Amino acid sequence: MKSSRFASLGGWLVTLPLTIFGLLLVTFLIGRVMPIDPVIAIVGDRAPVDVYERVRLELGLDRPLYEQFWRYCVAIFHGDFGRSVMTSRPVLQDIGRFFPATLELATLATILGVAFGVPMGVFAAVRQDSWADYVIRVLGLIGHSVPVFVLGLIGLVVFYAKLNWVAGSGRINVAFDDIVDPITGSLLIDAAIQGEWEVFRNAVSHIVLPAGVLAYFSLAYIARMTRAFMLEQLRQEYVTTARVKGMSERRVIWRHAFSNISVPLITVIALSYANLLEGSVLTETIFAWPGLGQYLTVSLLNADMNAVLGATLVVGAVYLGLNLLSDLLYRIFDPRAR
């Protein structure tokens, strides 16, 4: 038992540094292969040659690639992501301002996706090949097939422009800016803590549509995986035995079958959450949501490579962290994985 634990710990100690190294290498190479000159992005295309060369030397672009990569790694580990050309602020400071909005949006979407996707997947498995099963499977197929920008635009046209049920783009109306002091980074939580219920209602009306669009994609994935897990468990002999013993169907489904899929479902939910955090670029662009995805898009359009690489590195680190967390939870809740 102890040897297996040491082997598992050793595997983590080897895998984690290699993964971080690979992430740093990929982001570094992206900055070098992109057809964007970081010097021109800083000084402009009309700068004198001597100014161009001076900035190039200051950035260390005259040095060999391996030395540039080493300096890049040292700077990252010291929390220096460079300075954004677009905002003239340190990139890490910009990320600290924009990432909470993405975190709030993805978290709410994941909560909605889990709240609806898990029961739908269980119901579809229990009612296999029924009309309800077909409807849920079709909804899941649409969620995987229709591009997010299409659903986003349709939602804005229908629920905002036509029905006026929700607010438009942005995170909050301009009239409510700077009323709520940032405490947690979540506008909904901060407004509720400070008792600014009018701001809270306005924030809800803005977030409900983009969160709903992202939640639909999360729901489609979670429902499909839940259905597959449940179908596998419902075919097992212990389920048949429980039914023969006269146990209620509800207890068979939720106490026995669902308990056995809860562990792999944790991994599915964690991966879905990570995908929403890294894949919300189009959603944030469509809804003008001031999150990390929009910051990354605007930075790329403005050739702000420090901001692009910093945001990419943070997204990759978050994805890596959630993968490690799901693996850890899997080992904690499933004795067989230990």
Q: Which domains, from first to last, does the chain contain?
A: 2-77 (no CATH), 91-337 (1.10.3720.10)
How far apart are the C-alpha atoms of 140 and 19, rounded to whole Å? 32
* pLDDT the model gives residue 12: 59
Quote the crossing angle between the two packed helices 2-33 and 305-333, to the nearest 10°. 160
**Token pair belonging to 296:** 């990354």
How far apart are the C-alpha atoms of 38 and 307, rounded to whole Å? 11
CA 338 to chain centre: 28
- HSE, CB side, 13 Å, CA atoms: give it for residue 184: 11
* pLDDT the model gives residue 135: 92
CB atoms within 10 A of CB 188: 17
* pLDDT the model gives residue 180: 86
How far apart are the C-alpha atoms of 223 and 111, rounded to whole Å? 13
* pLDDT the model gives residue 248: 83
* pLDDT the model gives residue 113: 92
* pLDDT the model gives residue 227: 92
Residues 6+ apart with CB under 8 A from 109: 211, 212, 214, 215, 218, 276
* pLDDT the model gives residue 336: 57
How far apart are the C-alpha atoms of 14 and 176, rounded to whole Å? 49
* pLDDT the model gives residue 111: 93
3-class SS letters over the chain: CHHHHHHHHHHHHHHHHHHHHHHHHHHHHHHHHCCCCHHHHHHCCCCCHHHHHHHHHHHCCCCCHHHHHHHHHHHHHCCCCCECCCCCCEHHHHHHHHHHHHHHHHHHHHHHHHHHHHHHHHHHHHCCCCHHHHHHHHHHHHHHHCCHHHHHHHHHHHHHHHCCCCCCCCCCCHHHCCCCCCCCCCHHHHHHHCCCHHHHHHHHHHHHHHHHHHHHHHHHHHHHHHHHHHHHHHCCHHHHHHHHCCCCHHHHHHHHHHHHHHHHHHHHHHHHHHHHHHCCHHHHHHCCCCCHHHHHHHHHHCCCHHHHHHHHHHHHHHHHHHHHHHHHHHHHHCHHHC
**pTM for the structure as a whole:** 0.83
* pLDDT the model gives residue 104: 92
Each residue of 47-68: b (16+ CB within 10 Å) or e? Answer: eeeeebeebbeebeeeeeeeeb
CA distances from 211 to 98, 142, 150, 160, 177 (A): 16, 17, 15, 14, 21
pLDDT per residue as tens, the chain (338 positions):
445 554 455 565 667 677 778 878 887 887 777 666 777 767 777 778 788 788 778 777 778 888 888 888 888 888 888 888 778 888 888 988 889 999 999 999 999 999 999 999 999 999 888 898 999 999 888 888 888 888 888 988 999 888 888 888 888 888 888 888 888 888 899 999 988 899 999 999 999 999 999 999 899 999 999 999 999 888 888 888 888 888 888 888 888 888 888 888 888 898 888 888 876 777 888 888 888 888 888 887 777 778 888 888 888 888 888 877 777 777 776 655 55
**Token pair belonging to 230:** 């449940």
